[in-house]
Amino acid sequence: MSQTKPKPTNNHIPENVVFNIVAWLPVKSVIRFRCVCKSWDSFIISPYFISTHLNNNNSKYHGCFIKVPDSFGKKGKVCEVFCDRTYYIISEYPVPSGFDRFYVGSTSPGIVGSCNGLLCIPHYKAFCVDVIYLYNPVLRKFKRLPNSSFSQRYDWIWKAAGFGYQSKTNDYKVIRVYCLVGFTKFGKPKIKRQYAEVYTLSSNSWGRVEISLRPNVKLHGNKRISHAIFACGALHWLVDFIEYEDELQCETKILSFDVYNEKFRDIALPDGARRTKHIAVFRGKLAFITVNYYDRYITMWVMEEYGEVHESWNKLFSLVIETGFFYGCTRYAGLPDALQGNSSYVESLVLLDEGTELSE
Amino acid sequence: MANGENQNPNPNPIEATPGAAARTITLKTADGEIFEVEEAVAMEFGTVKSFFEDDAVSATKPMPLPNVSGSALSRVITYCRRSLEIRSMIPPATSEDATAAEAVQGEGDLEAEKAAKQERKEFEAEFLKDESNEDVKELILAANYLNIKELLDFLCRSVALRIQNKSVEYARKFFGIEGDYTPEEEAQIRQEYAWAFEGVDED
């Protein structure tokens, strides 16, 4: 039976199918294949391709975390990506040499946040933010954010920062919150001023944002420098809400900043939350964790339905733990000490279409 | 009964109800082969589905598929049959969506879904194992013409796996593309992204 079968006359794979094939390739291959021809290069750097590729990567890879080196000053520093189930290192990316100069002499409180393969890396000098970078480790590309008009002063006590993704416009935002705290003559904290500013990637600029909570409410962070947890389209910090009515009232709540409409609001914590508190993302939901160091157990709540109308905390479990320290959450509620709370990671092409700024 | 003399033996057709004959649809390929396919399988093909949803068309005449060869159609049918079988392993209340978040499910459902995932993984690993690049491309063109989203998606992922460690030249050959960069332009890309060109398979 050796009939010659007529082959279809057009043996070329159509463009939309080519697009779909390339969108399943790892970042390294996509970058290499920019060389194939100019029309490939042109669709690869398009925002639609970058989003499609990211979606595919999100469905392929689950639960990876990235660890950035403590200081970028030394040669040979690498970012390590590891799997949250086995903690095996699955990728390493050398840090580009342009980063060498900026991390000298400062301690690193870690990355501000990680969204869609983009890391927000602050450079702190004496607890003030000196410079902020957006960094895509797999692409070896980074972007230095412009300075804002707000001047850095050491007496602004609580500094908070957050990095979030705005899905409606496919944009990225960085927020910085400052509170100037003084003390009354009785030693009670008295907040003089608070100030917030937001950087938007698409306009490459900073803008001031009102902290529009109830008029008397002032904010005081639990930590010296606080980095937000990004979940459900908003950035979250654990904050003491201090209200001056007849008397000073202080309640710890979650401060939330909606990345889309740039509005602040507060979220009450579940009852009985007395011990050391943390917030995290657990399987895509906002999670609240308390640690009882003495009896060595942790309790976790998650917010099942997010949004002002039906919000409520659902207590998931209490776990006995060996070590008393909480660093962050994996999908399996793992608590490795190598984990920084904001560092979940997926390889992406975000920032590919932006110019790299390698030196200052 | 499915015809296809030179092809791999087809697995048994699915019966809609035990004992009753399943409704079949007749397809005729570019090289004149006739295939009788169970309706459930044929309706996986978007082009066939819209063809028969038109009331004026009768199901007795064979539907012509001028862009698809007999060998390609045979493999496509094999894939769709198996895919339907695997999907029927999952109870209807749960949807098999590979990208869905882990929802709260009953224990039995979860087990069934896991088993189905494993079956699909093994089946897909075997399906293209011995196919040449030319055969895979022929399948892609067939799946695209027949508008079978699931198969096309699987083929795209598979091709991506095949070429991900290959050189730029290999990719050009595979897709039949002529490079249009000047040597200087190409050298510049290779230098700026040198890390992307390391560890590539030899051609």
- What's residue B16's pLDDT? 45
Whole-angstrom distance, CA of residue B143 vs CA of residue A16: 13
pLDDT of residue B5: 44
Name which residue leads in pLDDT, A304 or B172.
Answer: B172
Residue of A nearest to B134 (CA): A11
**The pTM is what?**
0.82
**B199, B201, B202, B203 alpha-carbon torsion, rounded to 10°:** -140
Distances, alpha carbon A129 to alpha carbons A77, A135, A158, in Å: 22, 16, 12
Contact at CB, A13 and B99, closer than 8 angstroms: no
Residue A176 is inside which H or E element, if any? strand A171-183
With an 8 Å Cβ cutoff, is A36 touching chain B?
A: yes
pLDDT at A126: 61
Interface probe, candidates B195, B198, B201, chain A, greatest A C-beta count within 10 A = B195
Tell me which residue in A8, A18, A31 faces B175 most closely, judged by beta carbons.
Answer: A18
CA distances from A218 to A35, A59, B62, B105 (A): 55, 41, 76, 43
Q: Can you give the pLDDT at residue A123? A: 74
Q: Is the pLDDT of residue A262 over 50?
A: yes
Tell me the count of A-B CB pairs closer than 8 A: 100
Query: In the predicted model, what is the mean pLDDT of residues B195-199?
Result: 92
Between strands A344-345 and A64-67, the pairing is antiparallel
Give the integer Cα–Cα distance in Å for A122 and A135.
10
Mean pLDDT in residue range A157-174: 87
Predicted confidence (pLDDT) at residue A180 exceeds the cutoff of 80: no
At A105, is the pLDDT very low, low, confident or very high (cuts 50, 70, 90)? very low
Q: For residue B38, which amino acid is it?
A: E
pLDDT digits (tens, 9 = 90+) for B47-104: 988 887 775 566 667 888 988 999 999 999 999 999 999 988 887 764 555 444 445 5
Per-residue pLDDT tens digits for A187-207? 666 666 778 899 999 999 999
**Minimum Cα–Cα distance from B33: chain A residue:** A5
- Confidence tier at B198 by pLDDT (50, 70, 90): very high
Give yes or no for A20 touching B (CB within 8 A). yes
A154 min Cα distance to partner chain B (Å): 40
Q: Is the CB of A12 less than 8 angstroms away from the CB of B181?
A: no
Determine contact, residues A169/A119, Cβ cutoff 8 Å.
no
Would you state the pLDDT for residue A164? 95
What phi-psi label fits residue B131: left (phi over 0), alpha (psi between -120 and 50 degrees) or beta? beta
B160 closest CB neighbour out of A7, A14, A24: A24
Interface test with A, best of B7, B67, B152, B164 (most A CBs within 10 A): B164
Q: Which residue has the higher pLDDT, A77 or A158?
A: A77
What are the contacts of A267-272 at 24+ separation with CB within 8 A? A267/A236, A267/A303, A267/A311, A269/A313, A270/A301, A270/A313, A270/A315
